[in-house]
């Protein structure tokens, strides 16, 4: 396979993955707006956004100039995943205890 065709295929893969990622971010937001209670909204935010970010990260990987950049992308995804899970846990914990103010 010659160089331009290979580049075209990589760009196509990146575009598809990025569109998929954007779709999951939209789904997370729709879920946040439509779902009825705090817990269900947290489900939508954590899971859909995490998957969306994962796909966008995968979309950027073929465009990475070097290995360092690719590792940084992976690291960002893992860090955001940890932060998302921890944040969701803290919010849900306050809701379970019922000591939050105006939680719904």
Partner 1 sequence: MTVTLPAFVTALTQRLLLFALLWWLLTDGQHEAALFGAPFVLSAAVLSTVTRFRGQVLSASLWPARPLALMRLIGFFLWHSLRGGLDVTLRAFRRPLPLKPDLIDYPLRLPPGPTPILMASLVSLMPGTLAVICEGRLRVHVLDRHSDWYRDLERLEQRIGDVYHIDRAQWNDVPNHSDHN
Q: Provide the binding-site residues for partner 1, judged by CB under 8 A.
A: 23-24, 27-28, 30-31, 34-37, 39-40, 42-44, 46-48, 50-52, 54, 68, 71-72, 75-76, 79, 81-82, 84-86, 88-89, 92-93, 95-97
Distances (CA, A) of 63 to 1, 11, 19, 44, 49: 18, 8, 15, 29, 22
Q: Assign residue 3 a region: left if phi > 0, alpha if psi is -120 to 50, beta otherwise?
A: alpha
C-beta of 76: minimal distance to partner 1 in Å? 7
C-beta of 103: minimal distance to partner 1 in Å? 13
C-beta of 3: minimal distance to partner 1 in Å? 28
Burial of 59 (0-12, 13-18, 19+ CB in 10 A): buried
């Amino acid at each position: 396979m010659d160089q331009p065709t290979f580049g075209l295929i990589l760009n196509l893969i990146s575009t598809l993955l990025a569109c998929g990622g954007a779709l999951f971010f939209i789904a997370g937001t729709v879920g946040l707006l439509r779902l009825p209670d705090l817990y269900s909204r947290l489900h939508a935010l954590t899971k859909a956004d995490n998957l969306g970010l994962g796909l966008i990260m995968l979309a950027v990987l073929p465009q990475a100039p070097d290995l360092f950049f690719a590792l940084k992308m992976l690291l960002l995804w893992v860090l955001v995943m940890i932060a998302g899970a921890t944040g969701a846990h803290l919010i849900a914990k306050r809701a379970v205890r019922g000591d939050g103010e105006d939680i719904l």
